[in-house]
Chains A and B, each alone.
Chain A
Amino acid sequence: MAEEPLVRWDWIGRNWPEILELVADNVVMALVPVVVGLLVALPLGLAGARWRWFYQPAVGVMNVVYSLPSLAVFIVLIPITGLATRTTVMVPLVFYAMAVLIPAVVDGLASVPDHVRQSAVAMGFTPLRRLLAVELPIAVPVVLAGLRVATVSSVSLVSVGALVGRGGLGYLFIDGWQRQFPTPIVVGIVLVVLLAGAADLLLVLAQRWLTPWASARTAARSGRRGAA
């Protein structure tokens, strides 16, 4: 039997519609939890920034959640959300995203220089308007930095779900391993990395576009603690 090549292009050519489906599945399962995680992390982060007593316990709980092995969580969830469902994979990913994003929101709000906050008060902003028009926009660069970490790790964590039957591109790893056939494994790795890179690039571009003032941060924040 001839030596098996690392990549067999004909296999890719024959299977690319299925591969694209896996890419789409991976994207959905990675991004939905990040979006949901952000929506939950915003109010919790605001609460954490407002009430310091709330922040430490919240971060403690999220860190414990973050330390749970993802596979274990998937298995525990199977009786509730079903085997090989998207939900089973996405629920833990929501928590992982929250674990990164809650501190990012808190740190982002803490990055608002005190003299800026004070001057907003003195100009006559109401508390809500100050939050929406001054504090949150200034927190954006720090939150986006957290969002990049959450997104990239979510993209790659999805593949662990393959062990419970639904793992996006992770399916290719199981498939290649079971058949002692390296091509799907290589394709899977390359696509996960490309996907994560593309998501990260989009977020970087979003940051440039959303916060053209962001190089101001070091200047405007003298004396404040650094961002996470």
Chain B
Amino acid sequence: MGRLWQGGRAPAGDQGLRMITFDDVTKRYPDGTVAVDGLSLQAPSGEITVFVGPSGCGKTTSLRMINRMIDATGGRILLDGVDVRTIDPPTLRRGIGYVIQQAGLFPHRKIVDNVATVPYLLGWDRRKARARAMELLERVGLDPKLAGRYPFQLSGGQQQRVGVARALAADPPVLLMDEPFSAVDPIVRASLQDELLRLQAELNKTIVFVTHDIDEAIKLGDRVAVLRVGGRLAQLAAPAELLADPADDFVREFLGRDRGIRRLSFIPGDGLRLRTDLTVPASAEAASARGTAEPWLVVVDADGRPLGWVAREDLPDSGTLAGVPAAPYGAFVRGRDSLRSALDAALLSPSGNAVAVDGSGRVEGVVTRQELDAALARAAEGARG
């Protein structure tokens, strides 16, 4: 059975094959405490499944039962149908990446050797293991010059990146992440989260991610499992669905404020209709612009990039628009940004309309407040909670 988990580099094409199944899993300690109570769910391959909940909800216990750092007392955990309890723990663990809070780097080993830990355990030769480690350092956005340093010479954020690189070193199909970003400051945390999403887009690992931070869960999760104290599953849903339709008061309360606004992040902004008749070049005559019926116009430079809004009634009788001071504008990238970004852009513009730009920052058109209102109304229909 252990043969299945010879770790190492999984052959290409095998990447998406690890599904994790919790089948009525319970963890009861000898003193009677129940940490996890009848948990059944699936973490689909190639997706990020987040376990989120308050302390005492059994999220870390659930995670650690996957690689047998803790053994379940009831039920089964299956990896592609194989019960983890039939696999020798060290063998099992070498095939599963693990990222821990505070990184857990070995203080007595250089960064490169920290990253190469699992390859060494799998018996790779030293040169190959180190070459792989260097490749991974680069992949997680670290300067290769750090390879020869010791962990204490790195910042918390850098250490956490090394922790991610180490977990990926033997290219395991499954990655377990135990509150990996909770010990770093919010700005670093945001960049680590973005980095993880970027990596996941390339690697397609089956990731189980534990956090107590619902915003992190919603940002990272393809699916979010909300657990309540006592280790019971309260709800398992995609983030947008969770925000739109919380299962009960516990989930609603745990999701916190601004649920409606936050849900807009999951609604794409590319369905919004554009008006292209509100855009004028800076070289246009102010007098002719005054002739339109529109109260606000977006002035663009020769490259088509937005300069700002001008109010029709403030326009002078002569000269070009280049000489008119433009009011600040909010813009969103159509095709990439969400309805929330579009709304935000509208709120940042004195006209109440959002400027839509393409990937290189050129104006595609304007989304009016009326169009946004209609989109928000459609979004509200989708929410029942």
Binding site for B on A (CB under 8 A): 113, 115-116, 118-126, 129, 134, 137-138, 140, 211-213, 215-217, 219-220
One of A118, A212, A213, A217 near B100 (C-beta < 8 A): A118
* Given pairs A119-B98, A124-B7, 8 additional interface contacts (CB within 8 A): A115-B100, A116-B107, A121-B93, A122-B100, A123-B94, A124-B89, A125-B121, A134-B108
**Chain B residues with Cβ under 8 A from A213's Cβ?**
107-109, 150-152
* A121 touching B69, Cβ below 8 Å: yes
* A124 touching B106, Cβ below 8 Å: no
Q: Does B67 contact A (CB under 8 A)?
A: yes
Q: Does B40 contact A (CB under 8 A)?
A: no
A-B contact number at CB 8 A: 82
Question: What is the chain B residue whose CB lies nearest that of A137?
Answer: B108
**Chain B residues with Cβ under 8 A from A140's Cβ?**
108
Q: How far in angstroms is the closest Cβ of chain A from B292?
A: 64
* B102 touching A115, Cβ below 8 Å: yes
Q: Once bound together, how far apart are the Cα atoms of A113 and B117, in whole Å?
A: 18
Given A213-B107, A213-B152, are A124 and B121 also a contact pair (CB < 8 Å)?
Answer: yes
Q: Once bound together, how far apart are the Cα atoms of A119 and B99, in whole Å?
A: 8
**Chain A residues with Cβ under 8 A from B89's Cβ?**
124
The 0/1 profile, CB within 8 Å of A marked 1, for residues 99-140 of chain B is 011111111110000000110010000000000000000000
Please report whether the interface of chain A is mostly helix, strand, loop or mixed according to DSSP: helix
Q: Does B325 contact A (CB under 8 A)?
A: no
Q: Does B42 contact A (CB under 8 A)?
A: no
Q: Does B15 contact A (CB under 8 A)?
A: no
Q: How far in angstroms is the closest Cβ of chain B from A23?
A: 36
The 0/1 profile, CB within 8 Å of A marked 1, for residues 63-103 of chain B is 00001010000000000000000000111111000101111
Q: Once bound together, how far apart are the Cα atoms of A134 and B105, in whole Å?
A: 10
* A124 touching B90, Cβ below 8 Å: yes
* A211 touching B93, Cβ below 8 Å: no
Considering the complex, which residues of chain B in the window 154-197 have a beta carbon less than 8 Å from any beta carbon of chain A? 163, 166, 176
Q: Once bound together, how far apart are the Cα atoms of A217 and B102, in whole Å?
A: 14
Q: How far in angstroms is the closest Cβ of chain A from B66?
A: 10
* B105 touching A118, Cβ below 8 Å: no
Chain B interface size range? 20 to 34
* B100 touching A219, Cβ below 8 Å: no
**Chain B residues with Cβ under 8 A from A126's Cβ?**
90
**Chain B residues with Cβ under 8 A from A138's Cβ?**
106-108
Given A115-B102, A216-B152, are A122 and B69 also a contact pair (CB < 8 Å)?
Answer: yes
Question: What is the chain B residue whose CB lies nearest that of A215?
Answer: B152
Q: Once bound together, how far apart are the Cα atoms of A213 and B148, in whole Å?
A: 11
B7, B90, B94, B103 — most chain A CB neighbours (10 Å) = B90
One of B98, B108, B151 near A122 (C-beta < 8 A): B98
Given A115-B102, A216-B151, A220-B151, are A122 and B107 also a contact pair (CB < 8 Å)?
Answer: no
Q: Once bound together, how far apart are the Cα atoms of A220 and B152, in whole Å?
A: 7
Question: What is the chain B residue whose CB lies nearest that of A223?
Answer: B102
Q: How far in angstroms is the closest Cβ of chain B from A226?
A: 16
* A220 touching B107, Cβ below 8 Å: yes
Question: What is the chain A residue whose CB lies nearest that of B109?
Answer: A213
Question: What is the chain B residue whose CB lies nearest that of A139?
Answer: B108
Given A122-B69, A123-B93, A124-B90, are A116 and B118 also a contact pair (CB < 8 Å)?
Answer: no
* B152 touching A122, Cβ below 8 Å: no
**Chain B residues with Cβ under 8 A from A119's Cβ?**
98, 100, 103-106, 163
* B91 touching A219, Cβ below 8 Å: no
Q: Once bound together, how far apart are the Cα atoms of A219 and B103, in whole Å?
A: 13
Q: Once bound together, how far apart are the Cα atoms of A122 and B152, in whole Å?
A: 21
**Chain A residues with Cβ under 8 A from B118's Cβ?**
123-124
Question: What is the chain B residue whose CB lies nearest that of A138?
Answer: B108
* B93 touching A212, Cβ below 8 Å: no
A134, A211, A219 — most chain B CB neighbours (10 Å) = A219
Question: What is the chain A residue whose CB lies nearest that of B118?
Answer: A123
28 contacts between A and B (CB under 8 A): A113-B102, A113-B104, A115-B101, A115-B104, A116-B104, A116-B105, A116-B106, A116-B107, A118-B100, A120-B104, A120-B106, A121-B69, A122-B69, A122-B104, A122-B176, A123-B98, A123-B117, A123-B121, A124-B91, A125-B90, A134-B108, A213-B107, A213-B151, A215-B152, A216-B151, A216-B153, A220-B105, A220-B107
Question: What is the chain B residue whose CB lies nearest that of A122?
Answer: B98
Given A115-B101, A216-B150, A220-B151, are A122 and B67 also a contact pair (CB < 8 Å)?
Answer: yes
B102, B107, B176 — most chain A CB neighbours (10 Å) = B107
**Chain A residues with Cβ under 8 A from B102's Cβ?**
113, 115
